[in-house]
Amino acid sequence: MPKGKITGEIKTGRVLIDGIELKPKYSLKIRNHSPTGFSWGYAGSGPAQLALAIMLEYLPPEKATLLYQDFKAEVIANIQGDFSIDIDTVIGWIFWRGEVLN
């Protein structure tokens, strides 16, 4: 399994995967929830965009769009403040849901 971290800074809304900024552009082409960017800590449009963007890093769009709302509800909505999540945790969640990585 991959090693690394997904980190987020609440003040700026920036999210990094292994130090590389995750941008909403690709996820907005799939589903436009929050053109103003990512957020977390509640079950709204910014967290939905972040959940989709993260799922798209590890799954093809047709699978990512089936799972991202659950990922938002179970993971993203429960994060408070600045965060750091092991990539293995995200991949474990995907496998727990019975999906295969792309």
Contact of 40 with 83, CB cutoff 8 Å = yes
Closest by CA position to 19, among listed 87, 93, 89, 92: 87
Rg value, the chain, Cα: 12
Q: Does pTM surpass 0.85?
A: yes
Residue owning tokens 């939905």: 48
Domain borders along the chain are 5-96
pLDDT tens string 24-50: 999 999 999 999 999 999 999 999 999
Contact of 1 with 96, CB cutoff 8 Å = no
**What per-residue confidence (pLDDT) applies to 100?**
61
Q: Which tokens sit at 98?
A: 């019975």
**Which residues of the chain fall below pLDDT 50?**
1
